[in-house]
C-alpha cells in the first residue's frame, strides 16, 4: 500500500487559538506557531563538503498509567507510570542504545511525569531536556473521559477532525510538531523524543511531510520505539511501534558474540510489522 501525500488545503492555515498544553503558554514557541505554514524538512545544515547530514528522529511512547488502562483521554493531567509501566520503560534501554549506535543523542521529554519517568528509566545516563512542544493534545473539556463518554456528548466526534472543546485541534498540535522539528534541524544529534500517543503520530506525519491528520495512519501502543530517517534524500519510516517483546533475543542477549549486530534490528522488525 502506498501512502499518498494529500493535497494542501486551500487558503492559509488557521492561526493558533487554543491554549498551550502546559500550565500556561510559552511565548517563545506560541509566537513561532503563528508564522505560517512551513514544511518541517526544508532544512539540514550543510557540512563543510556541501552535503547535508541525514535526519534520524527516534520517537518513544511512554509506559502506561491507570488512565491508559481505563481508556481515558490523558492530555494535561500529570500521572505517574504504573509499576508495570516502569518495568517496561526500563526494558527499552538496550533497544535505544542500539538505535543510537554510539552516536550523540538529544533526549527530549514531554513535561508530563509519565514521559519524564519513561525517559529517565529508558536512558538513565543521558541528560534529559523537557520541552512543552512535545506534550500531548490539550484535551480541554474531554480530559479524563473515554471515547464512549465523549461520543455520548458529541456523537460522531473524531479527534483527528474535531477540536477538543477549550483545548486543541489536530492542526494546532501539528504546528507544535513543526516548531519542534525546526528547532532540531541541524541533525548533528539524533533527537530521542519521549512523547505521547497522539502527538507521536502527528510528529511522525509531519516529519514525513504528511498533513497532521495523517497521524491517524500510524497506530500506537505504550512503551514502543519508532524511527524516522533519511533514505536517498527522502524522509522515510525506518521502524514503527517496536517493543522489546517483538525483538526477543535480539535485545535480551546483547553480549553474545555470535548474536545479531546492531543493524540487524531493521530486518528483524521489518519481518514483523
Measured in whole angstroms, the distance separating CA 22 from the mean position of its chain's CA atoms is 17
**Distance (Å) of CA 254 to CA 58, 197, 259, 260, 272:** 20, 29, 7, 8, 20
Neighbours of 125 (CB within 10 A): 7
Residues 147, 71 contacting (CB under 8 angstroms)? yes
Nearest CA-CA partner of 130 in 113, 114, 115, 109: 109
> In the prediction, which pLDDT does 268 show?
32
> In the prediction, which pLDDT does 247 show?
66
Which residues lie below 8 Å from residue 117, measured CB to CB, with a gap of 6+?
Answer: 62, 63, 80, 81, 86, 89
Nearest CA-CA partner of 134 in 40, 59, 66, 221: 59
> In the prediction, which pLDDT does 245 show?
77
DSSP 197-229: HHHHHHHHHHHTT--GGGGGGS---SS-EEEEE
Residues 40, 178 contacting (CB under 8 angstroms)? yes
What CA–CA distance (Å, rounded) separates 187 from 37?
Answer: 21
Measured in whole angstroms, the distance separating CA 215 from the mean position of its chain's CA atoms is 10
> In the prediction, which pLDDT does 138 show?
97
Q: What is the pTM of this model?
A: 0.75
The owner of cell 488557521 is 14
Crossing angle of helices 93-100/113-122, nearest 10°?
70
The owner of cell 516502569 is 86
H or E element that contains 107: strand 105-109
Per-residue pLDDT of the chain (273 residues; tens, 9 = 90+): 444 444 444 333 333 223 333 333 343 444 444 444 445 554 443 444 555 557 899 999 999 999 999 999 999 999 999 999 999 999 999 999 999 998 888 999 999 999 999 999 999 999 999 999 999 999 999 999 999 999 999 999 999 999 999 999 999 999 999 999 999 887 778 999 999 999 999 999 999 999 999 999 999 999 999 999 998 888 999 999 998 877 665 544 444 434 333 333 433 333 232
Which residues lie below 8 Å from residue 52, measured CB to CB, with a gap of 6+?
Answer: 44, 45, 46, 187
Amino acid at each position: 500500500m502506498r501512502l499518498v501525500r494529500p493535497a494542501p488545503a486551500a487558503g492559509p492555515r488557521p492561526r493558533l487559538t487554543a491554549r498551550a498544553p502546559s500550565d500556561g503558554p510559552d511565548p517563545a514557541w506560541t509566537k513561532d506557531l503563528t508564522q505560517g505554514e512551513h514544511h518541517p524538512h526544508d532544512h539540514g545544515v550543510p557540512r563543510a563538503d556541501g552535503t547535508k547530514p541525514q535526519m534520524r528522529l527516534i520517537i518513544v511512547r511512554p509506559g502506561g498509567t491507570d488512565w491508559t488502562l481505563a481508556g481515558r483521554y490523558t492530555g494535561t493531567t500529570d500521572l505517574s507510570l504504573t509499576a508495570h509501566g516502569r518495568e517496561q520503560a526500563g526494558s527499552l534501554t538496550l533497544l535505544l542504545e542500539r538505535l543510537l549506535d554510539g552516536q550523540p543523542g538529544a533526549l527530549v521529554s514531554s513535561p508530563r511525569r509519565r514521559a519524564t519517568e519513561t525517559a529517565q528509566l529508558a536512558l538513565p545516563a543521558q541528560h534529559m531536556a523537557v520541552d512543552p512542544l512535545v506534550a500531548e493534545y490539550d484535551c480541554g473539556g474531554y480530559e479524563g473521559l473515554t471515547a464512549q463518554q465523549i461520543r455520548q456528548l458529541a456523537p460522531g466526534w473524531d479527534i483527528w477532525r474535531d477540536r477538543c472543546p477549550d483545548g486543541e485541534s489536530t492542526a494546532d498540535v501539528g504546528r507544535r510538531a513543526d516548531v519542534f522539528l525546526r528547532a532540531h534541524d541541524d541533525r548533528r544529534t539524533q533527537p530521542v523524543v519521549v512523547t505521547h500517543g497522539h502527538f507521536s503520530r502527528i510528529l511522525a506525519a509531519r516529519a514525513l511531510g504528511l498533513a497532521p491528520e495523517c497521524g491517524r495512519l500510524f497506530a500506537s501502543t505504550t512503551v514502543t520505539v519508532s524511527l524516522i530517517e533519511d533514505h536517498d534524500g527522502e524522509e522515510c519510516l525506518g521502524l514503527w511501534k517496536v517493543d522489546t517483546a517483538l525483538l526477543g533475543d535480539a535485545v535480551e542477549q546483547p553480549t553474545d558474540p555470535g548474536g545479531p549486530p546492531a543493524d540487524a534490528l531493521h530486518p528483524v522488525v521489518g519481518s514483523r510489522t
